[in-house]
Amino acid sequence: MAINSQEGPRYDADALASPEGFGPVRARADKGRAITAAARAVFGRDGYARTSIDAIAAEAGVSTRTIYNHFEGKQQLFSAVLLASATRVAEGFIADVERRLTAANPGGDRRGDLLALGRSLAALRGDFPEHFGMVRQIEAEAPHFPPETIAAWQQAGPLRVLREIARRLEQLADGGLLRVGDPSVAAVHFAALVTADLTTYYGAPAPDDLGGVEAFLHGYATPPRAP
Amino acid sequence: MAINSQEGPRYDADALASPEGFGPVRARADKGRAITAAARAVFGRDGYARTSIDAIAAEAGVSTRTIYNHFEGKQQLFSAVLLASATRVAEGFIADVERRLTAANPGGDRRGDLLALGRSLAALRGDFPEHFGMVRQIEAEAPHFPPETIAAWQQAGPLRVLREIARRLEQLADGGLLRVGDPSVAAVHFAALVTADLTTYYGAPAPDDLGGVEAFLHGYATPPRAP
DNA sequence: TGTAAAGCACAACGTGCATGGCAATCAACT
DNA sequence: AGTTGATTGCCATGCACGTTGTGCTTTACA
């Protein structure tokens, strides 16, 4: 049930980059990586309940028996894959923000910074489709998963992303562009607006311009009053 | 596969209020209503894949055989229940908006109107928990359902709600409170902000004050510039 | 009271799936 | 070559589920 088991040969295969060493250790890590990659793809595509171990094994090019040598079972496999994937996505987001903001910084264009932040957030869904497939699954099936799994995923993924957004918004507020009360609330609103643009309720292709960022920046109010 | 079948004794049981007539017809409609109500509850609680026909039959107090006498199968039952539920929710929303807005109207308080609109939208999730459980399921499993089912649901539910929001926002814009470009885009943003407040990413209790409406109304920008 | 429709319990069939056991195989290291 | 550990194919078990068939029972009305 727990994310990391304590006995047996289990481990977080995705975290092991295994840059050193060949031999069976290398092969073992490769199998583990293949399994997690395949599981991420199939879980994201078909959802937890519809995904069979056989399908994952086929996609990974391993036998089902090998999967059970690496993971305790379907549920633990899903938890491990989700956690690793969320960590990678969150780290990718933070790095992407850093990259885009320093690229836009030279002009000191803080408005461009906000747009860059929105673009980084919007790019996630396109860059990690398998991961967000899994996220949709969790959101639907959260009551049927162990709470530790949910909590661990939130901490590793969305909450970390929101914290980063809040930090950046606070910077922009200090720079004079924004007026934010609670930065974490503002971060939730920002994320909601940006992702709302993407889905277009529902299924239409994502527009490249981020109207939500404009809405966030300008607001719809004609007379600006202080809250 | 289609929403409404053309042969056999099938029908949309929820749409039949059957105020007239007793006898077997009445009993038949009651069974149908019990089935749809139970299906809505169980589907919303456990999701499509985890829900068994046996569970629905038990919740409805009927035999599984009766379910198959009323509906073609699990999938068609889900589609019918989702469509009926979405229609009811959308109609409830529109009626609730009308009620709240006319209640706030006497003072001509347009800002109160916007808040009332937000409250109506926010109240939906609390008033129809089973329905939004089903919605979460569809969002996750949309690729595995027939496209006609998805389209019919969107037309009956979210798109209708969004259209109503856009209409109201346009009124408020004409009244001078808001500056909206495309009302339907503004409606998406409004809905996103209000629902973002509710989930609090994820699972925290809903705050009663709607910060998202404030954000929508005031915006975060210090200097109000024209877009 | 008789009749026809609707509902019921029960069982059965076929399928798919998670999971485990076991012996054979394979690849690397001694 | 022998050892060791990972991997595999194959089989088996057990369960849960969708769906259908079959008589028996209820129910409303003539």
Neighbours of B171 (CB within 10 A): 16
| Higher-pLDDT residue of B215, A156 | A156
Instruction: Note whether B202 contacts A142, CB cutoff 8 Å.
Output: yes
The CA–C1' separation of B85 and C28, in angstroms, is 62
Q: In this structure, are residues A96 and A123 in contact, taking their beta carbons and an 8 Å threshold?
A: yes
Q: What is the pLDDT of residue B181?
A: 81
Q: Please say if the pLDDT value at position B107 is more than 80.
A: no
Q: What is the pLDDT of residue A2?
A: 35
Shortest distance between the Cα of A186 and any Cα of chain B, in A, equals 8
Question: How many structural domains is chain B composed of?
Answer: 1
Q: Please say if the pLDDT value at position B216 is more than 70.
A: no
- CB-based burial label for A156 (10 Å; 0-12, 13-18, 19+): buried
At position B128, the amino acid (one-letter code) is F
The nucleotide lying nearest A29 (C-alpha to C1') is D6
Residue A71 belongs to some domain of the structure: no
Q: What is the pLDDT of residue B21?
A: 33
Q: What is the pLDDT of residue A6?
A: 32
Residue A15 belongs to some domain of the structure: no
Residue A5 belongs to some domain of the structure: no
Q: Please say if the pLDDT value at position B42 is more than 70.
A: yes
Domain of A214: which CATH number? 1.10.357.10
Residue B209 belongs to some domain of the structure: yes
| Helix (H) or strand (E) segment spanning residue A123 | helix A110-127
User: Is A70 strand, coil or helix?
Assistant: helix
Q: What angle do CA B158, B160, B164 make, to 5 degrees?
A: 115
CB-CB neighbors (< 8 A) of B140 in chain A: 47, 136-137, 139-141
Tell me how many residue pairs between chain A and chain B have CB atoms under 8 A apart. 145
Q: What is the pLDDT of residue B200?
A: 61
Work out the average pLDDT over B89-96: 98
Residue A160 belongs to some domain of the structure: yes
Closest Cβ–Cβ partner in B49, B188, B218 for A221:
B218
Residue B183 belongs to some domain of the structure: yes
Q: What is the pLDDT of residue B139?
A: 92
Q: How many helices (H) and strands (E) does chain B have?
A: 10, 0
Q: Please say if the pLDDT value at position B197 is more than 90.
A: no
Work out the average pLDDT over B41-53: 95
CB-CB neighbors (< 8 A) of A217 in chain B: 219-221
Closest Cβ–Cβ partner in B179, B202, B212 for A220:
B179
Residue of A220, A222, A225 to mutate, testing the B interface (most B Cβ within 10 Å of its Cβ)? A220
Residue A73 belongs to some domain of the structure: no
Instruction: Note whether A219 contacts B222, CB cutoff 8 Å.
Output: no
Nearest residue to A217 (alpha-carbon basis) of A104, A77, A109, A132: A109
**pLDDT 10s per residue in chain A (227 long)?**
333 333 333 333 344 334 333 444 455 658 889 999 999 999 999 999 999 999 999 999 999 999 999 999 999 999 999 999 999 999 999 999 999 988 766 567 778 888 899 999 999 999 999 999 999 999 999 999 999 999 999 999 999 999 999 999 999 888 877 888 888 988 998 898 888 877 765 544 455 555 556 666 565 444 444 33
Q: In this structure, are residues B179 and B188 in contact, taking their beta carbons and an 8 Å threshold?
A: no
Q: Please say if the pLDDT value at position B212 is more than 80.
A: no
CB-CB neighbors (< 8 A) of A82 in chain B: none
Domain encompassing residue A194: 78-218
Shortest distance between the Cα of B39 and any Cα of chain A, in A, equals 17
Residue of B182, B189, B194, B210 to mutate, testing the A interface (most A Cβ within 10 Å of its Cβ)? B189
Work out the average pLDDT over B116-143: 93
| Helix (H) or strand (E) segment spanning residue A36 | helix A23-46
Q: Please say if the pLDDT value at position B69 is more than 60.
A: yes
- The residues near B198 (Cβ < 8 Å, ≥ 6 apart) are B122, B125, B206
Shortest distance between the Cα of A19 and any Cα of chain B, in A, equals 36
Q: In this structure, are residues B212 and B118 in contact, taking their beta carbons and an 8 Å threshold?
A: yes
Integer-rounded Cα radius of gyration of chain B: 20
Label residue B106 by pLDDT band (50, 70, 90). Answer: low
Instruction: Note whether B195 contacts A200, CB cutoff 8 Å.
Output: no
The residue to which tokens 């998963």 are assigned: A145
Task: Look up the protein residue whose alpha carbon has the minimum distance to the C1' of D7.
Answer: A66
| Higher-pLDDT residue of A108, B15 | A108
| Higher-pLDDT residue of B65, B17 | B65
The nucleotide lying nearest A54 (C-alpha to C1') is C17
- Name which of A198-207, B88-97, B106-115, B119-128 the model is least confident about: A198-207
Q: B210 to each of A74, A193, B102, B193, B194, how far by Cα in Å? A: 40, 15, 20, 9, 7
Instruction: Note whether A189 contacts B215, CB cutoff 8 Å.
Output: yes
Bases in strand C with any atom closer than 7 Å to a protein CB: 5-11, 16-22, 27-29
Q: What is the pLDDT of residue B53?
A: 97
Q: Please say if the pLDDT value at position B201 is more than 70.
A: no
Q: In this structure, are residues B32 and B16 in contact, taking their beta carbons and an 8 Å threshold?
A: yes
Q: What is the pLDDT of residue B218?
A: 60
Q: What is the pLDDT of residue A90?
A: 98
Residue B227 belongs to some domain of the structure: no
The nucleotide lying nearest B54 (C-alpha to C1') is D17
Q: In this structure, are residues A72 and A10 in contact, taking their beta carbons and an 8 Å threshold?
A: yes
Work out if B18's Cβ lies within 7 angstroms of strand C.
no
